[in-house]
Amino acid sequence: MKKMIVAFSAIAAIVATPSFAGDDMAGMSMSGKPSAMKASASAALTDAEVKNVDTATGMVTLKHGALENVGMPPMTMAFKAKDAAMARQVHEGDKVKVRVENVNGTLTIVKMEKQS
């Protein structure tokens, strides 16, 4: 990733010339909110399938897609549910969309939406 950023920066430095700094961007809207876009991307949900639910421990085993925010590739793994009610709302075989975050060192399902 670092190499890609360095390469991109080098190309951008070569391509950028004073002619681009003029009025070429005068008609562009700069009202977009990059922080809002970044926040929505960081709150993205991942498709998953419930493989097992242990309501006694609040653990939900998911076969999930890549969890980009925690750097995890697609796999099947058990996660702690944020609260017991979340674990009781799903059953084996359910298709869900989830948000997993590292909460105090534990990968935790902080949001789970059942799909129809």
Does residue 56 form part of some domain? Answer: yes
- Statement: the pTM of the whole predicted model exceeds 0.75: no
Does residue 51 form part of some domain? Answer: yes
Does residue 108 form part of some domain? Answer: yes
* pLDDT digit string, tens, across residues 47-69: 999 999 999 999 999 999 999 99
* CATH code, domain with 95: 2.40.50.320
Does residue 102 form part of some domain? Answer: yes
Does residue 3 form part of some domain? Answer: no
* pLDDT digit string, tens, across residues 3-39: 555 544 545 444 454 444 444 445 545 444 444 444 4
Average pLDDT of the chain to the nearest whole number: 79
Does residue 83 form part of some domain? Answer: yes
Which structural domain, as residue segments, surrounds residue 100?
Answer: 44-114
Q: What is the tally of structural domains in the chain?
A: 1
pLDDT band at 46 (very low <50, low <70, confident <90, very high): very high
* pLDDT digit string, tens, across residues 72-83: 999 999 999 999
Does residue 19 form part of some domain? Answer: no
46 Cβ neighbours under 8 A, 6+ residues apart: 64, 65, 66, 67, 68, 97, 98, 99, 100
